[in-house]
Amino acid sequence: MYKVGIKDHIMIGHSLKGAVFGPAQNMHGATYNVTAIFCSSSVSEDNIVIDMGRAHEVIKEVLAPLNYQNLDELPIFKDCVTTTEFLAKHIHDTVKTKVAGEFNGTIEIILDESHVAWASYSGE
């Protein structure tokens, strides 16, 4: 399996409604270290999984509307509980759409919320 990884980060604010979230029900901030991993069982005729520069452009483009935002106020997340897992899938699905014509494989998005906690989502 070939893998190409790209890293970036975002800073967000949000609250997580529901007793299960304890104090995180209150407005709080998070800085996520974001890793996008593009996996493929083969490389292109150019011997790449995906152009690293293009992958970095896509990640920056996908993260830009989230960075420095209160996710509770974004219409796209109306009535959503924006957990780390939820955000990983949202980022994955958006990246997948943007690279649809140029990448065929599995994408994994990992969000490191701290040095001890992370969540990820992967899929075709």
- Tell me: the pLDDT tens digits for 79-105? 999 999 999 999 999 999 999 989 989
How many separate domains does the chain show?
Answer: 1
Q: Which amino acid is at 83?
A: T
For residue 20, give its domain range. 2-123
- Cα separations (Å) of 27 from 11, 15, 49, 66, 124? 13, 4, 40, 16, 33
**Mean pLDDT computed over every residue of the chain:** 96
- pLDDT of 55 strictly over 80: yes
User: What's the mean pLDDT in 55-66?
Assistant: 98
- Beta partners for residue 110, in sequence order: 35, 120
Q: Compute the average pLDDT of residues 43-68.
A: 96
CA distances for 116 relative to 13, 32, 83, 112, angstroms: 20, 12, 16, 8
Under the banding of pLDDT at 50, 70 and 90, the label for residue 124 is: confident
What's the CATH number where 68 sits?
A: 3.30.479.10
